Structure 1
Amino acid sequence: MIKRFALTTVAIIVIVGALVGTKLLQFRAMAAAGAHMTPPPETVTSAPVREEDWPDTVTATGSVESVQGVTVAAELAGKVMKLAFEPGALVQAGDLLVQLDTSSEEAQLRAAEASAQLAKANFDRSRDLIQKATISQAELDAADAQYKEAVARADNIRATIAKKTIRAPFAGRLGLRLVNLGQILREGDAITTLQTLDPVYVNFSVPQQRLSVLHPGADVRVTTDAAPKVVFAGKITAISPEVDVVTRNVRVQATVPNVEERLRSGMFANVEVVLPTAEKKLIVPATAILYAPYGDSVFVIEEKKDPQSGQVQQVLRQQFVRLGGARGDYVAVTSGLKPGDQVVTSGVFKLRAGTPVVIDNKLAPDAKLDPKPANT
């Protein structure tokens, strides 16, 4: 029994050892084959690094503001007797918007005008009598004062009536109506908004380093997602004399015609100031850039000889670059590349340095400086 158990144990050990040895030989053969195996080349699209004359521009983000904009409010308390405007309508300066109840003031005005007429008649009579030496100079002065006081009381009532007759202070477009007929308004209650929308201001900030190249009259191009295919042309009309001590930015104001009123107060806008100078820049398609927190890079295609086969291959070299501005589908590169370098233009996120590649530009992205995307 013991002899049979010992033989069984030895047999198991031999079998296990044979299996382990076989597997080790297989793993060693696989490792040797992997060491001599080269990965198949990746198919990529490419484009050469080009040198272009780009007009010098200053880009910024800004906001649209109306040239004139107010919230029309009640200057005095009163009851709304007439609404003379429609929400969103265009009005001219002086157009009636709201009429408050002035019945009490109108009655007071009639009494004040009667008093003023009587005071004027007394003053005229006193002026005739002073020439005949019938009354004293003091009586004439008192009559003059009473007449002027009566006129002032009438003018004060007229001013109150005018304040309760609410008119447009300037031409523009009205906002939503915030009051109703018969409503009792308190002093300062909002009635509607009034905005002048043609032209409009576009306010933006630029770094102090760019202040020297800006001047009133410089051309600006404004775009907004509210009108994605429209470029609004304007000019710089004012530059703030102060620099923000926190951001070191300078506030700039441009005036932009807005005949169709596509730009509205409060809109976000992209601003590009076009400078008269032009610079030569190296440009690559934006799809060639691999953006990363530690630095932006591109993959440059180089020809190298395979040390094993002796054949010349195209392989990738990852090159870190410093980027400049962007125009259309292109990005300017300020350092890291030279004209004529061939860079990969698609699928850069899945590539790595040293990978052999094959160039196939049949499906290469069509990069343009002024792309005009079609509706899809």
Structure 2
Amino acid sequence: MKKTIILLVALALAWFGYQSTLAPEKSNQRVKPIPNVVVAKVAMLPVRDEVEAIGTNKAFESITITPKVTEQVASINFNDGDIVSKGDLLVQLRNREQVAKVRAAEVKVTDNLRELDRIRSLVTSKTVAELERDRLQTLIDTTRAELEQAKAALEDRAIHAPFSGRLGLKQVSVGSLVSPGTQITTLDDVSKIKLDFSVPERFIQELQLGKSVEAKAIAFPDRIFKGEVTSIDSRVNPSTRAVIVRAIIDNADSALLPGMLMKVKLIKQNRETLLLPESAIIPIQSKHYVYIVNDENIVESKQVSLGIRNRGWVEIIDGLVIDEPVIIRGLLKVRPGDEVKTEAAEAFNFAKVAGAENAA
């Protein structure tokens, strides 16, 4: 009997000891730590609607220098890549025969004029018939035409720059026999660049002359070239369903060359709108939600309508107002109805990102 009592006492003590070890665990389970989240306030910031495209550079003016006649090259007055002005002599073809013909025609004109002056007084006194005077006048007109023809043939053998620009590579040498169609070199006016790019037809109603464009070239990754739309093609390509848009870009330092590939941004519209970091958006099927923190630090869920998206930020069309605190980090730790501790996001988290995108 005594042993039974001792055993019961021992069991009772063991039970109470076990319960005492469970009590702290249960109390710990009841206490839930308040999570920390990072919030950003909805802000009204400037953004722009833009269309990205790929374009190709073309010279503002561009020609291939070729001769008009078949003749031998007498002299070449340029080097590869020279900058020339309008009217500069580039190539002189052999022209001795044409020079002689011009001189002969000039002599004929002078002689006929002298003869006409000599008989005018005789015609007045009726010593010589007026028919002779008319014959001389016709002869003078004919020799003058021959003189103009000889001068034109002489000019055809001097090849001048039709406009200012940069020459390409020299394709002929002194002594070469050239003929119409023979490429001597190229001439490009690159003080301005024509940038042609395709825009999908769904944007046609938003295209207007004077719209701003910004372009980047692989050769100059840190530089932005700015220009404006000067013309829009009158037809849509039936294969690509796009229209060709042309912009003019200033190229005073001749950095851009014809044929370069350019990444283009066509600025359709500049405006101000509500912006949020993209990390704040919770997509659920076809809808979008955000978590906001009310005045009592309680999480609430709100459905929002989105506009344009860009790298790191998104436009809020409906569902939020300015300065509402929205959770942008820590979304996985909370649910609607939870109490949270908030920490303000750094100013550059999305405000400066949006500004950088607008400047890029």
Fold shared by both chains (TM-score > 0.5)? yes
1:237 aligns to what? 230
| Structure 1 gap segments, 5+ residues each | 1-45, 289-296, 303-321, 345-365, 372-376
Q: Is 1:196–2:193 an aligned residue pair?
A: no
Higher mean Cα deviation, 97-106 or 54-63?
54-63
Give the distance between the partners of 1:167 and 1:109, measured in 2 at CA: 20
Aligned residues: 282
2:242 aligns to what? 249
Render the CA deviation track for 1:83-119: whole Å, top value 9, x for unaligned.
1111111110000101000011112222221112112
Map of 1:41-60 to 2, 5 A cutoff? 53-60=46-53
Quote the RMSD (CA, aligned, Å): 3.8
Aligned 8 A contact 1:301 1:343 in 2: no
SS at match of 2:111: helix
TM-score by length of 2: 0.67
Q: Is 1:277–2:259 an aligned residue pair?
A: no
Counterpart selection for 1:165 from 155, 158, 161: 158
Identity %: 27
SS at match of 2:174: coil
Amino acid paired to 2:132:
E
Distance 1:323 1:277, change over 3 A: closer
Q: Is 1:148–2:141 an aligned residue pair?
A: yes
| Structure 2 gap segments, 5+ residues each | 1-37, 292-305, 331-348
* 1:282 shift after superposition: 6.4
Map of 1:283-362 to 2, 5 A cutoff? 326=310, 329-330=311-312, 332=314, 340=326
Give the distance between the partners of 1:62 and 1:48, measured in 2 at CA: 38
SS at match of 1:190: coil
SS at match of 2:184: strand
Q: Is 1:84–2:66 an aligned residue pair?
A: no
Give the distance between the partners of 2:307 and 2:219, measured in 1 at CA: 29
Distance 1:273 1:70, change over 3 A: same
1:360 aligns to what? none
* 1:58 shift after superposition: 2.2
2:65 aligns to what? 72
Aligned 8 A contact 2:277 2:328 in 1: no
2:338 aligns to what? none
Give the distance between the partners of 2:39 and 2:82, measured in 1 at CA: 54
SS at match of 2:251: coil
Give the distance between the partners of 2:206 and 2:47, measured in 1 at CA: 16
Amino acid paired to 1:66:
A
* 1:334 shift after superposition: 9.2
* 1:280 shift after superposition: 4.0
Render the CA deviation track for 1:44-89: whole Å, top value 9, x for unaligned.
xx99998765211122221111110101111111111111111111
Render the CA deviation track for 1:159-199: whole Å, top value 9, x for unaligned.
11111101100001111111111111122211111111111
SS at match of 2:86: coil
Amino acid paired to 2:178:
L
Distance 1:100 1:193, change over 3 A: same
Counterpart selection for 2:101 from 84, 105, 108: 108
Counterpart selection for 2:253 from 260, 270, 280: 260
SS at match of 2:259: coil
Aligned 8 A contact 1:76 1:188 in 2: no
Amino acid paired to 2:164:
A
Give the distance between the partners of 2:105 and 2:238, measured in 1 at CA: 59
TM-score by length of 1: 0.64
* 1:130 shift after superposition: 2.1
Counterpart selection for 1:181 from 174, 194, 197: 174
